[in-house]
Chain A
Amino acid sequence: NAGVTQTPKFQVLKTGQSMTLQCAQDMNHNSMYWYRQDPGMGLRLIYYSASEGTTDKGEVPNGYNVSRLNKREFSLRLESAAPSQTSVYFCASRIQEGGPFETQYFGPGTRLLVL
């Protein structure tokens, strides 16, 4: 199993450009998440998808959109990138919602620099 994979690993954008961050998991998990991590900070939840066909906002959703394409894939789109969105983006997945103990599995991250 590859676990959670993310593409690209690194991206440089100019202000105003758009891009989509891709995430896929091969563990047959129902729930998927997008976080961002700014330097020296903990992770903050952007959006999540409890199951295929549903998405919900997290702590910091402004400036982002998401698509749960199918059970495996969950993408994050920046429509008009801003320097404040410079960050490391992590995708995660979890077997299912409803219990407090199911582990979240994280991808390796996408480092995004917006100039």
Chain B
Amino acid sequence: DAKTTQPNSMESNEEEPVHLPCNHSTISGTDYIHWYRQLPSQGPEYVIHGLTSNVNNRMASLAIAEDRKSSTLILHRATLRDAAVYYCILRPTGFQKLVFGTGTRLLVSP
């Protein structure tokens, strides 16, 4: 499985943008980039995914580098509810499982 590298933790202030980086230098052409997050004492929840182009949804934006060796999850205005562990995951086409790393713990201050 291709691996991802994320910082252990990041801090942000409420209502500021947050850029969460993910390195995946061994990504293959068929790997989709998925982001999930896990709020305290809850199961993970889907945030966003992409293959080559940048993606936007109601929760976040995903910026993918041209060489696809890195990506950035962008929360446009952090709220206290966004404090969670964010997981960057590579998923090959048709592959069953999500392989979770240790993720980035995002702390949001008022």
Contact B93 A106 (CB under 8 A): no
A18 within 8 A of B: no
* B residues near A109, Cβ cutoff 8 Å: 41-43
A43 within 8 A of B: yes
* A residues near B102, Cβ cutoff 8 Å: 40-42
Contact B93 A100 (CB under 8 A): yes
Find residues 84-115 in chain A having any chain B CB closer than 8 Å to their own CB: 90, 92, 97-101, 103-109
Mark interface residues in B31-48 (1 if CB within 8 Å of A CB, else 0): 110001000011111100
Contact A43 B44 (CB under 8 A): yes
Find residues 56-110 in chain B having any chain A CB closer than 8 Å to their own CB: 87, 91-103
A27 within 8 A of B: no
Q: How far, in Å, is B90 (CB) from chain A's closest CB? A: 9
Count of inter-chain pairs, beta carbons less than 8 A: 60
Which residue in B87, B94, B98, B100 is a CB contact (below 8 Å) of A98?
A: B94
A106 to B38, CA, bound (A): 10
* A residues near B36, Cβ cutoff 8 Å: 104
Contact A90 B43 (CB under 8 A): yes
Contact B97 A48 (CB under 8 A): yes
**Chain A, residue nearest B31 (CB):** A100
* B residues near A99, Cβ cutoff 8 Å: 93-94
Q: How far, in Å, is A37 (CB) from chain B's closest CB? A: 8
A88 to B102, CA, bound (A): 15
Find residues 30-60 in chain A having any chain B CB closer than 8 Å to their own CB: 31, 33, 35, 40-45, 48, 50, 56, 58-59
Find residues 55-90 in chain A having any chain B CB closer than 8 Å to their own CB: 56, 58-59, 90
* A residues near B94, Cβ cutoff 8 Å: 97-100
> B residues near A, CB below 8 A?
30-32, 36, 41-46, 49, 87, 91-103
